[in-house]
Structure 1
Amino acid sequence: MAPTLWQRQLPEGLAEMQLSLSETRQQELLAFLSLLNKWNKAYNLTAVRDEREMVSRQLLDSLSILPWVTTEHLLDVGAGGGLPGIPLAIVLPEKRFTLLDSNGKKTRFLNQCVLELGLKNVEVIHGRAEDCKLEKPFSQISSRAFTALDTLVGWCGDLLANEGSFLAMKGQYPDDEVAALPVGWQVSSSHSLEVPGAGGERHLLVVTRAEQPR
């Protein structure tokens, strides 16, 4: 039931979002979704278990931030089941993606995705964000359903370049989290995301270091 349903839902949703993807890219996205659905039964990778909602809440939701991915190498923290990192990597093969998660089961799944889908632009790191030591900071770091904004900048601030930005995906606009951002950080812009078939609000918050007064 699901594959046939997904084959209808994905092109319809992409058209509504005005995203043009080749048949090959669409098939790769659906192959990833099949893997996620299969592994989720044993590994508890995502709370979305209704196959009728998976295209919308997993693929289209991940792709909704495409216009804001401008870096050549994105870090996705708390990558979990590979959302948004894997769908973004599939449709942006010219860019590089590093997926970081502290859960061993989830990083095993991510490595399996890289292997089965032949994703040569994806690296998976098993570790805690706050303990991660990388060669150089990233200009963009994405997070989806990972943690509160103050914790995000606290754990991952050292991984972000000085002029870089966090792409924090949220549901309702998190006024309390924005108010709790520590000194030196700001929401430089926020965007309401339209995700076909997904109920409820979706927001992208772009978080950057605040300019220090001279």
Structure 2
Amino acid sequence: MEECRKILVNGIASLNLNVTDGQVDQLIGFIKLIEKWNKAYNLTAIRNREEMTRLHILDSLAIVPHIEGKRIIDIGTGAGLPGIPLAICLPEIGFTLLDSNAKKTRFVQQVVLELKLKNVEVLHSRVESHHPEQGYDAVLTRAFASLPDIVKLTAHLLAANGVLLAMKGQNMEAEIAEINAESAVIPLSVPGADVERCLVRIQLPEQAEVN
């Protein structure tokens, strides 16, 4: 795991993030848990732990500067990405991690217990079935669906003035053209990974009336 730690520490420095040694230990612990559970639960197609560090952990942390609000929901969290790395590094923010796959939410719940994360709630549910009493400041998705589908499926979850944050590859013009909303494409750089990434920030025009 020393190589993973090195990749992580160097990547965090490249992203200019303020992360403690204890948080790095938790991130390493998360990688160990994915590796341990992956064979039985098929959490990720990536088996190499160094690649997990780059393409899962650093990829998730690349959006830290763009996180808004105090209540965030990660839709289709899968193995807890990006929600778990973000929750580790942003302990003052409350994260709800939602997925419809029971095996994956069971794994994420185990991660929360083992890493003693106090700011994470795990929900086994389909997104359209989740109706929170209080809306979220931000809805976060990573490799979840097309932008029009994300807007359609998650708009009911947002508080007034809440935002949708969709982690995507590049060339989003066609999908953006299909949504009736104010949007911004933020290029992302993932240290050590030769991948094209961006974050699409969407503010819905009728958002004040959603809840």
Number of the residue aligned with 2:172: 174
Where 1:58 maps in the other structure, the secondary structure is helix
1:114 aligns with 2:112: yes
How many angstroms apart in 2 are the aligned matches of 1:174 and 1:45?
A: 27
Q: Give per-residue Cα distances to partners, 1:27-63, cap 9 Å, x unaligned.
A: 0111011111221222111222222211111111101
Cα 1:159–1:211 shift into 2, 3 Å: closer
Where 2:95 maps in the other structure, the secondary structure is strand
How many angstroms apart in 2 are the aligned matches of 1:211 and 1:105?
A: 36
Number of the residue aligned with 1:190: 185
1:147 aligns with 2:145: yes
Where 1:53 maps in the other structure, the secondary structure is helix
Where 2:49 maps in the other structure, the secondary structure is coil
Number of the residue aligned with 1:208: 203
Shift of 1:211: 6.5
Paired residues of 1:167 and 1:204 also in contact (CA < 8 A): yes
Shift of 1:190: 1.3
Number of the residue aligned with 2:158: 160
User: Alpha carbon RMSD of aligned pairs, Å?
Assistant: 1.4
| TM-score, normalization by structure 1 | 0.92
How many angstroms apart in 2 are the aligned matches of 1:9 and 1:79?
A: 23
AA at the equivalent of 2:135? P
Q: Which runs of 5+ in 1 are unaligned?
A: none
Alignment of 1:51-66 (within 5 A): 51-66=49-64
Q: Give per-residue Cα distances to partners, 1:155-197, cap 9 Å, x unaligned.
A: 111001231101100012322211222x3x231x111001111
Number of the residue aligned with 1:50: 48
Give the share of equivalent positions with the same residue, in percent: 46
How many angstroms apart in 1 are the aligned matches of 2:76 and 2:36?
A: 20
1:95 aligns with 2:93: yes
Q: Give per-residue Cα distances to partners, 1:4-31, cap 9 Å, x unaligned.
A: 2102111111111112311111001110
Paired residues of 1:173 and 1:203 also in contact (CA < 8 A): no
Paired residues of 1:53 and 1:197 also in contact (CA < 8 A): no
1:80 aligns with 2:78: yes
How many angstroms apart in 1 are the aligned matches of 2:206 and 2:97?
A: 29
State how many pairs are aligned.
207
How many angstroms apart in 1 are the aligned matches of 2:124 and 2:206?
A: 33
How many angstroms apart in 2 are the aligned matches of 1:129 and 1:15?
A: 35
Q: Give per-residue Cα distances to partners, 1:130-176, cap 9 Å, x unaligned.
A: 11111111110110011111111111110012311011000123222
